[in-house]
């Protein structure tokens, strides 16, 4: 739009120069006047008028009044260009000739600038949507798309690795992360809409490439946040409101890694869109069970796609559609040299390096949202969402029987549909009311085909001929919630957010709870901010993971549990306290300190107990989690850096559900003692930084951990580990190639081999080693 305006101005000025060369200098100064109106004839006030000479110099300036009228006084004789601009309109230029000492009044009509209108209205609605999501009293860590671009692997960094750069986030195997001592329990929101969690697997359901900004909220959350409460991963997606563009990315390197990605975005009038997709393969799909740099049978194929479309029904109302998919295939890596435990007819020997277990995962989700504002006091968003997820584990029908006594094919799927509605009403300058409801229906299906050997009365293998049993079930469940809260600005320095939430569930158990929430933020000084909060939490178990199979079906087989008790998994109920301070040190440094304590009843945890790599939830009757987090951020011109340190303790006592997953000795010990949760890690650190020099950006990040738990009832722990990654990016912007980023990176640069898991501990099935040193390179072409 600007380039066209400049061309038009240049053409008018050239015409004015030619006209001026044939005039006679003789007349006296005069007044140049006119009106500015829109295509409907309505006056445009506050339009900017600039008078340009034939040489391009300034000859005068004015603005229109409420009637769209303007006047320029003391205009010397000559030919001029009159340039007019106004917010929301396309600029225009018109010739004016005062060589005769007088000039006829000008009448200028400005066309509506549709692109600018769309941008302004979209930003207004984005601000209204953000206003539906209060953060008062919570701890929040923000990561922007620019921050992600500066990571060593850029947008090819998996989302779980991005979150590891936030304070209090602990790394684990199978792509899991844990926040503040909870097992997973993360709530994912996209543009303010909660997406039901998928069945836990190895792949990531959300691609980093969709992110414009991601916020991790923890602590005492406001009343509108329920269900998963260890942390809220609030993703604001990219869109096409700002203009048209796109990119193609090719990334690859060690472990036969190759990934191609593309995105496109833009707008057409009131319609805006953003689409992205990726396809990739590598030979390090899952953390390997051995220290070998070339794991056996660890190939993966992964693909994902995401789309966002929005349409402005009017300047205050928008409808949007989002959809996404992630389809991942994994080979389960092998450990060579395992001893044979069982005998199988017809197969006297079997090399464990030749096992062929695989797992496939699929997650699809879609959202239709209507969002609006009255431009002043009231905002709303109503969304319908759906999510389908499935996991298929295919065991080795021969090898699994020989090494485990059990070979299974396990199929789980879950369909979730729901409604989420959030509203904000700014009652006055002191009070902002928020209210909302959420309804969700889930239908889960489980179908397992299990081959086992019969056993004698002492539990010993009684035959080398296996038998096959079917174990299938299905269940429909419901979650429902409502909240009401008030954000009260007591003074210019003190804000209080208090509210009440109701949660209910009708799934494998029926339960409900009223949960008070209160949080406060106090601006002690312009550089010092204090926050504190309390929250009651109600966390349902992961419905898609709770099975209702019959344990007695496997009595007298090699899949019979030692303990047959199977009390139903209950929702977790917590009292959560949070206290923190943020301090700015000059204009470049910000530091923060945050402490938290959680007292839990029926503390939820998850573990992998069977041969299938699918997690199962269970409860500790009593739980306690507490910790301290420190964060520091530095940014000055072309240098940025961050450091996060966290101390945490997470413990539980007395397992009171799904007891069949445990041995009798562990159950007896845990019934009398607080034990560490398997994902507990005393000290965690993350750090990183970037330096830009000319067209190059040098970047690094790293994580350090004191080690996850291990051993009988988690009474031991693994050694300290550290991983550091480095990268360099060359930002090329040349006439021939256009805008291109060339990237090189190294993961685990110091090549330290370390174990995340050693195969022992509660709910831990096999050893897993951290990533090996790997080298990658990529090229991104922008359009």
What pLDDT digit, counting tens, does each position of 726-760 carry?
A: 999 999 988 888 899 999 999 999 999 999 999 99
Q: What pLDDT is recorded for position 544?
A: 73
Is the pLDDT assigned to residue 614 strictly greater than 90? no
Higher-pLDDT residue of 254 and 9 is 254
Q: What pLDDT is recorded for position 734?
A: 82
Where on the phi/psi map is residue 53: left (φ > 0), alpha (ψ -120 to 50), or beta? beta
CA 383 to chain centre: 18
Burial class (CB in 10 A: 0-12, 13-18, 19+), 711: middle
Secondary structure E strands in 207-315: 211-218, 231-237, 245-253, 257-268, 271-282, 300-314
- How many Cβ atoms sit within 10 Å of the Cβ of residue 558? 21
Give the model confidence (pLDDT) of 442-466 as tens digits. Answer: 999 988 899 999 999 888 999 999 9
Q: Sort strands 528-539 and 510-525 into parallel, antiparallel or unpaired.
A: antiparallel
- How many Cβ atoms sit within 10 Å of the Cβ of residue 551? 15
Q: What pLDDT is recorded for position 101?
A: 74
Give the model confidence (pLDDT) of 616-663 as tens digits. Answer: 899 999 999 999 999 999 999 899 999 999 999 999 999 999 998 899
63 with 57: CB under 8 angstroms?
A: no
Q: What pLDDT is recorded for position 134?
A: 66
- What is the sign of the dihedral through the CA atoms of 162, 758, 393 and 561? negative
Is the pLDDT assigned to residue 54 strictly greater than 80? no
Q: What pLDDT is recorded for position 8?
A: 47
Residue of 699, 750, 676 whose CA lies nearest to 170: 676
DSSP-derived secondary structure for 291-340: S-SS-BS--EEEEEEEEEEEEEEETTEEEEEEEEEEEEEEEPPB-TTPPP
Ordered strands of the 79-85 beta sheet = 58-63, 48-52, 79-85, 92-97
The band of 184, judged by pLDDT with boundaries at 50, 70 and 90, is confident
Higher-pLDDT residue of 620 and 126 is 620
The band of 78, judged by pLDDT with boundaries at 50, 70 and 90, is confident
The band of 505, judged by pLDDT with boundaries at 50, 70 and 90, is very high
Rounded CA Rg of the chain: 32
Q: What pLDDT is recorded for position 705?
A: 96
Q: Residues 663, 669, 670, 675: what is their CA dihedral angle, to the nearest 10 degrees?
A: -120
Residue of 404, 412, 425 whose CA lies nearest to 131: 425
Mean pLDDT within 561-573: 92
Mean pLDDT within 573-602: 95
Structure tokens at 743: 């990237």
Q: What pLDDT is recorded for position 197?
A: 81
632 with 667: CB under 8 angstroms?
A: no
**Measured between alpha carbons, how far is 723 from 747 in angstroms, rounded to an integer?**
8
Residue of 99, 95, 81 whose CA lies nearest to 30: 99
**Measured between alpha carbons, how far is 374 from 380 in angstroms, rounded to an integer?**
9
pTM over 0.95: no
Is the pLDDT assigned to residue 504 strictly greater than 70? yes
Structure tokens at 326: 């992630």
Structure tokens at 706: 């004191």
Higher-pLDDT residue of 54 and 602 is 602
Is the pLDDT assigned to residue 473 strictly greater than 70? yes
Q: What pLDDT is recorded for position 201?
A: 67
Structure tokens at 782: 């922008």
3-state secondary structure of 571: coil
Higher-pLDDT residue of 639 and 56 is 639
Higher-pLDDT residue of 116 and 130 is 130
502 with 226: CB under 8 angstroms?
A: no
Q: Residues 6 or more apart from 306 whose CB is under 8 A from it?
A: 206, 207, 209, 210, 237, 274, 275, 276, 277, 322, 323, 324
Residue 769: phi and psi, rounded to 5, are -100, 150
3-state secondary structure of 545: helix
Domains of the chain and any CATH numbers? 2-112 (2.60.40.1120), 124-256+264-645+663-782 (2.40.170.20)
Q: What pLDDT is recorded for position 3?
A: 43
DSSP-derived secondary structure for 119-132: HHHHHHHHHHHHHT
780 with 740: CB under 8 angstroms?
A: yes
202 with 359: CB under 8 angstroms?
A: yes
Give the model confidence (pLDDT) of 132-179 as tens digits. Answer: 666 776 788 999 999 999 999 999 999 999 999 999 999 998 888 999
The band of 131, judged by pLDDT with boundaries at 50, 70 and 90, is low
From 218-227, 393-402, 497-506, 549-558, the region with the lowest mean pLDDT: 549-558
Is the pLDDT assigned to residue 23 strictly greater than 60? no
Residue 380: phi and psi, rounded to 5, are -150, 160
Structure tokens at 413: 């799927």
Which residue carries 């006056």 as its tokens?
A: 43
Residue of 134, 139, 165 whose CA lies nearest to 592: 139
From 309-318, 409-418, 545-554, 588-597, the region with the lowest mean pLDDT: 545-554
Q: What pLDDT is recorded for position 21?
A: 41
Q: How far is CA 614 from CA 572, 608, 738, 755, in A?
A: 21, 6, 47, 21
Q: What pLDDT is recorded for position 576?
A: 97
Structure tokens at 335: 């450990």
The band of 130, judged by pLDDT with boundaries at 50, 70 and 90, is low
The band of 99, judged by pLDDT with boundaries at 50, 70 and 90, is confident
The band of 269, judged by pLDDT with boundaries at 50, 70 and 90, is confident
Where on the phi/psi map is residue 145: left (φ > 0), alpha (ψ -120 to 50), or beta? alpha
Q: Sort strands 92-97 and 106-109 into parallel, antiparallel or unpaired.
A: unpaired
Q: What pLDDT is recorded for position 167?
A: 93
Which residue carries 């009684």 as its tokens?
A: 462
Q: What pLDDT is recorded for position 511?
A: 97
Residue of 331, 340, 419, 434 whose CA lies nearest to 378: 434
Q: What pLDDT is recorded for position 5?
A: 46
Q: What pLDDT is recorded for position 118?
A: 53
Q: What pLDDT is recorded for position 121?
A: 60
Structure tokens at 417: 């549909």
Q: What pLDDT is recorded for position 14?
A: 43
Q: In whole numbers, what is the pLDDT of the chain averaged over residues? A: 89
3-state SS of 181-210 is CCCCCEEEEECCEEECCCCCCCCCCCCHHH
Q: What pLDDT is recorded for position 92?
A: 85
- How many Cβ atoms sit within 10 Å of the Cβ of residue 17? 16
Q: What pLDDT is recorded for position 128?
A: 62
Q: What pLDDT is recorded for position 693?
A: 94
Mean pLDDT within 419-433: 94
């Amino acid at each position: 739009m600007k380039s066209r305006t400049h061309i038009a101005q240049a053409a008018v000025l050239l015409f004015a120069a030619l006209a001026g060369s044939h005039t006679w200098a003789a007349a006296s100064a005069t007044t140049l006047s006119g009106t500015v109106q829109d295509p409907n004839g309505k006056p445009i006030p506050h339009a900017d008028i600039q008078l340009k000479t034939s040489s391009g110099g300034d000859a005068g300036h004015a603005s229109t009044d409420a009637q769209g009228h303007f006047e320029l006084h003391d205009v010397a004789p000559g030919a001029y260009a009159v340039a007019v601009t106004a917010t929301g309109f396309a600029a225009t230029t018109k010739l004016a000739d005062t060589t005769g000492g007088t000039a006829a009044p000008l009448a200028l009509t400005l066309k509506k600038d549709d692109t600018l209108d769309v941008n302004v209205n979209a930003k207004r609605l984005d601000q209204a949507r953000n206003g539906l999501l209060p953060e008062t009293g919570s701890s929040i860590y923000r990561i922007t798309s620019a921050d992600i671009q500066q990571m060593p692997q850029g947008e090819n960094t998996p989302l779980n690795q991005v979150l590891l750069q936030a304070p209090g986030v602990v790394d684990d195997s199978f792509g899991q992360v844990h926040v503040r001592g909870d097992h997973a329990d993360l709530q994912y929101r996209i543009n303010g809409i909660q997406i039901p969690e998928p069945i836990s697997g190895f792949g990531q359901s959300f691609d980093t490439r969709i992110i414009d900004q991601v916020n991790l909220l923890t602590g005492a959350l406001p009343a509108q946040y329920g269900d998963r409460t260890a942390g809220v991963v609030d993703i604001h997606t990219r869109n096409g409101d700002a203009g048209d563009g796109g990119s193609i990315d090719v990334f690859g390197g060690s472990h036969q890694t190759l990934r191609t990605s593309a995105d496109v975005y833009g707008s057409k009038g009131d319609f805006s869109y953003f689409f992205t997709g990726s396809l990739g393969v590598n030979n390090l799909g899952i953390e390997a069970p051995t220290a070998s740099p070339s794991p056996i049978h660890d190939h993966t194929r992964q693909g994902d796609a995401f789309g966002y479309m929005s349409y402005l029904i009017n300047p205050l109302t928008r409808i949007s559609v989002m959809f996404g998919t992630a389809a991942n295939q994994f080979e389960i890596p092998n450990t060579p040299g395992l001893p044979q435990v069982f005998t199988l007819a017809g197969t006297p020997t079997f090399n464990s390096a030749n096992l062929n277990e695989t797992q496939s995962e699929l997650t699809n989700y879609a959202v239709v949202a209507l969002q609006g504002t009255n431009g002043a006091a009231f905002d709303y968003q109503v969304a319908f969402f759906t999510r389908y997820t499935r996991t298929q584990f295919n065991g080795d029908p021969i090898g699994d029987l020989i090494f485990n006594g059990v070979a299974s094919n396990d199929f789980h799927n879950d369909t979730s549909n729901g409604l989420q509605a959030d509203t904000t009403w700014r009652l006055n300058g002191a009070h902002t009311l928020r209210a909302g409801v959420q309804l969700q229906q889930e239908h889960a299906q489980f179908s397992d085909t299990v081959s086992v050997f019969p056993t004698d009365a002492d539990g010993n293998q009684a035959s080398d001929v296996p038998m096959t049993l079917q174990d299938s079930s299905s269940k429909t469940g419901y979650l429902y919630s409502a909240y009401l809260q008030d954000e009260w600005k007591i003074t210019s320095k003190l804000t209080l957010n208090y509210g009440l939430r109701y949660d209910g569930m009708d799934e494998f158990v029926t339960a409900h709870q009223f949960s008070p929430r209160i949080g406060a933020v106090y601006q002690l000084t312009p550089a010092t901010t204090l926050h504190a909060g309390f929250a009651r939490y109600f966390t349902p178990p992961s419905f898609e993971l709770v099975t209702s199979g019959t344990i007695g079906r496997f009595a007298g087989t090699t899949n019979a549990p030692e303990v047959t008790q199977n009390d139903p998994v209950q929702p977790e109920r917590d009292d959560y306290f949070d206290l923190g301070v943020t301090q700015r040190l000059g204009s470049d440094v910000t530091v923060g300190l945050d402490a938290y304590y959680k007292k839990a009843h029926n503390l939820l945890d998850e573990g992998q107990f069977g041969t299938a790599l699918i997690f199962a939830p269970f409860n500790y009757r009593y739980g306690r989690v507490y910790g301290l987090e420190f964060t520091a951020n530095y940014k000055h011109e072309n240098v940025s850096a961050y450091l996060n340190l966290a101390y945490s303790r997470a413990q539980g006592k007395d397992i009171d559900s799904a007891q069949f997953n445990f041995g009798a000795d562990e159950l007896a010990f845990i019934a009398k003692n607080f034990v560490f949760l398997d994902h507990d890690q005393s000290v965690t650190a993350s750090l990183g930084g970037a330096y830009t020099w000319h067209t190059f950006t040098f970047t690094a990040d790293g994580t350090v951990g004191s080690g996850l738990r291990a051993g009988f009832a988690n009474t031991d722990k693994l050694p300290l580990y550290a991983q550091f990654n480095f990268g360099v990016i060359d930002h090329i912007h040349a006439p021939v190639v256009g805008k291109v980023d060339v990237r090189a990176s190294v993961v685990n640069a110091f090549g330290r081999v370390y174990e995340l898991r050693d195969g022992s501990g509660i709910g831990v099935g096999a050893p897993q080693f951290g990533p090996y040193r790997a080298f990658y390179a990529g090229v991104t072409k922008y359009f």
